[in-house]
């Protein structure tokens, strides 16, 4: 057989489903382990009060790590400060991470509305992540190269129609009823999405968002948090080898196992993170009892545990009182040792160090 030519556009990329038995004994065993870990993660996430907003703060970590794969690096301080200010005044890197987060949430809402995962959604996610107004690639010449050696490792299909046809097939594979386990389907779809490589850039990030959304739409993940990108970063070589293994040698089982292992171990890590935050909230509750009016404790802590970098304005916006009253509340939490007041660039923040630590550790 002729060896695979990495420098030629892979217009022959086969349609899905792959013509092989995907659910080997090893795969099915790993499916069970991953599903169990996901169920435990969902259980922990249910205990979080104030679902959406706190989960956004926890989820920022995934956005940060997924962007780091593309060498978009921001610090946790920048990120949480940027988050508190809707990105205003943030570095370009921080803004890009916040846009990833925004795309993930738009996707989450899309799935919540019961809409299927379609090319239209892929394009919408790409446009948010990259702040672009184009979509599927029209121009030839996209190549994936090893950043160090510049050696070409893969050439995705070319021609808008070719790309759209393959995406239509992918859509169908994702959304039609199937005998395949949904996690196996997610792993297959992720490979296919990356191999189609529909956009000029941001394909890795959009593909990683789609993983989360696929689990959500299959009912395997209630909220869009799972630090899957951390696994990919920590096992980056295997990620790239796994993708080319499928393309060049049809090594589906190794690829599926790789991603399923990631789901299992990151569901555990994410659950531990949530439990750490829950424990902190409980402790904060006790500490706050003595220094805040009883009726206001819950409302105030809800706000404080949305933003590791909290501002007086957030309490005001939550209807907790006037500027003076809200400042008094936050200072009371400072005296109780729960928060630390600090001015950064003329903005006054009440920093929840323990929460910050729990999120960024
Ligand atoms: N051999 C390969 N075959 C198919 N896809 C690949 C291969 N090697 C890498 N990829 C995918 O291409 C992505 C990079 O593409 P692109 O630069 O468009 O995405 P990005 O989101 O900007 O980058 P990154 O994924 O590095 O954050 C990788 O994350 C990976 O998913
Ligand atoms: Mg890129």
The CATH number of the domain holding residue 51 is 1.10.3290.10
Same domain, 265 and 316: no
Count of residues making up the chain: 361
Q: What is the DSSP string of 260-315?
A: HHHHHHHHHHHHHHHHHHHHHHHHHHHHHHTTS-GGGHHHHHHHHTT-SEE-HHHH
Mutate to test the pocket of ligand 1, among 240, 245, 248, 252 (most ligand atoms within 8 A of CB): 240
Domain range spanning residue 65? 25-273
Same domain, 191 and 141: yes
Q: What pLDDT is stored for residue 51 in this prediction? A: 67
CA distance 229 to 70: 11
Asked if residue 251 belongs to a domain, the reply is: yes
Same domain, 207 and 302: no
Q: What pLDDT is stored for residue 59 in this prediction? A: 82
Low-confidence ranges of the chain (pLDDT < 70): 1, 51-53
Q: Which of 249, 273, 297 is the last residue of a domain?
A: 273
Q: What pLDDT is stored for residue 5 in this prediction? A: 97
Same domain, 169 and 316: no
Q: What pLDDT is stored for residue 345 in this prediction? A: 80
Asked if residue 8 belongs to a domain, the reply is: no
Please tell me the residue having the least CA distance from ligand 1 atom 6: 194
Same domain, 347 and 263: no
Mutate to test the pocket of ligand 1, among 65, 70, 252 (most ligand atoms within 8 A of CB): 70
Please tell me the residue having the least CA distance from ligand 1 atom 29: 204
Ligand 1 center–CA 245 separation, angstroms:
14
Asked if residue 69 belongs to a domain, the reply is: yes
Same domain, 263 and 295: no
Domain count, the chain: 2
Q: Which residues pair with 351 in a beta bridge?
A: 309, 340
Same domain, 164 and 257: yes
Same domain, 177 and 249: yes
Q: What is the pTM of this model?
A: 0.94
CATH value at residue 319: 1.10.10.10
Same domain, 214 and 300: no
């Amino acid at each position: 057989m002729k060896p695979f030519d990495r420098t030629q556009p892979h217009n022959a990329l086969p349609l899905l489903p792959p013509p092989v038995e995907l659910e080997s004994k090893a795969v099915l065993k790993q499916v069970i382990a991953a599903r169990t870990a996901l169920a435990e993660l969902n259980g922990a996430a249910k205990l979080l009060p104030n679902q959406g907003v706190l989960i956004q703060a926890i989820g920022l970590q995934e956005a940060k790590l997924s962007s780091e794969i593309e060498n978009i690096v921001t610090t946790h301080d920048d990120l949480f400060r940027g988050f508190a200010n809707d990105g205003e005044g943030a570095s370009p890197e921080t803004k890009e991470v916040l846009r990833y987060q925004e795309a993930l949430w738009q996707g989450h809402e899309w799935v919540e509305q019961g809409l299927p995962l379609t090319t239209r959604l892929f394009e919408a996610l790409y446009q948010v992540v990259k702040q672009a107004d184009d979509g599927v690639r029209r121009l030839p010449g996209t190549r994936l190269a090893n950043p160090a050696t510049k050696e070409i490792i893969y050439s995705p299909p070319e021609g808008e129609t070719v790309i759209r046809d393959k995406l239509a097939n992918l859509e169908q594979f994702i959304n039609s009823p199937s005998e395949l386990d949904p996690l196996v389907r997610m792993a297959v779809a992720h490979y296919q999405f990356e191999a189609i490589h529909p956009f000029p850039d941001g394909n890795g990030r959009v593909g990683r968002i789609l993983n989360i959304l696929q689990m959500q739409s299959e009912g395997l993940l209630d909220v869009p948090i799972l630090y899957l990108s951390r696994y990919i970063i920590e096992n980056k070589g295997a990620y790239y080898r796994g993708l080319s293994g499928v393309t060049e040698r049809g090594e589906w089982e190794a690829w599926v196992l790789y991603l399923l292992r990631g789901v299992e171990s990151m569901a555990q890590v994410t659950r531990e993170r949530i439990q750490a935050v829950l424990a902190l909230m409980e402790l904060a509750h006790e500490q706050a009892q003595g220094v805040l009016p009883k009726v206001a404790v819950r409302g105030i802590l809800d706000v404080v545990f949305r933003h590791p970098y909290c501002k007086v304005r957030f309490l005001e916006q939550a209807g907790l009182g006037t500027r003076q009253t809200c400042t008094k509340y936050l200072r009371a939490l400072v005296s109780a040792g729960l928060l630390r007041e600090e001015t950064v660039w003329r903005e006054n923040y009440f920093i929840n160090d323990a929460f910050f630590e729990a999120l960024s550790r």
